[in-house]
Amino acid sequence: MPPRVLVHLVRQLADLHAWGRSAGSWWGLVSWRTYGSFGDGTNGYLYTSAWVPARLLEPSGDPAARREYQQVQRFELPADSSAWPVPAASAGRRWRHCGPLEDAPAPAPQIAPLVGGTALPPARSDG
């Protein structure tokens, strides 16, 4: 199982599949899932993946997880971000890949998220 990271763009825990470096910056290939209702009337998970700048990823505070992070594959990414690798989708899963993200992705049109998904609670406002 891949190590987990907090993706600040979506305020959600995600699996970290790989590290990539492009133009001197590090990116993490991550995937997360959202539970919701699909247009066909079924409920289930939508799996989403993206390349996210490392500065927007927060590793687990668990000391035992450090070994897992050291084992994540690292490689150089091509200059053309459309050629960056995508994770393999598992059969039977609904999947979308967002490519490189520096801002929160647009909501997925194919799913209406339901309470009880894997998202973290909204950020607190102190004002």
Indicate the domain borders of the chain: 4-113
Q: Report how far residue 58's alpha carbon sits from residue 89's, in angstroms, rounded to the nearest whole number.
A: 24
Closest alpha carbon to 21 in 75, 83, 69, 100: 75
* pTM check: above 0.85: no
Rg (CA), the chain: 15
Could you give the C-alpha distances from 7 to 74, 85, 96, in angstroms and in order?
18, 19, 16
pLDDT string in tens for the chain (127-residue length) = 889 999 999 988 999 999 999 999 999 999 999 999 999 999 999 999 999 999 999 987 777 777 888 889 999 999 999 999 988 777 788 999 999 999 999 888 888 988 654 444 455 455 4
Give the three-state DSSP class for 97.
Answer: strand
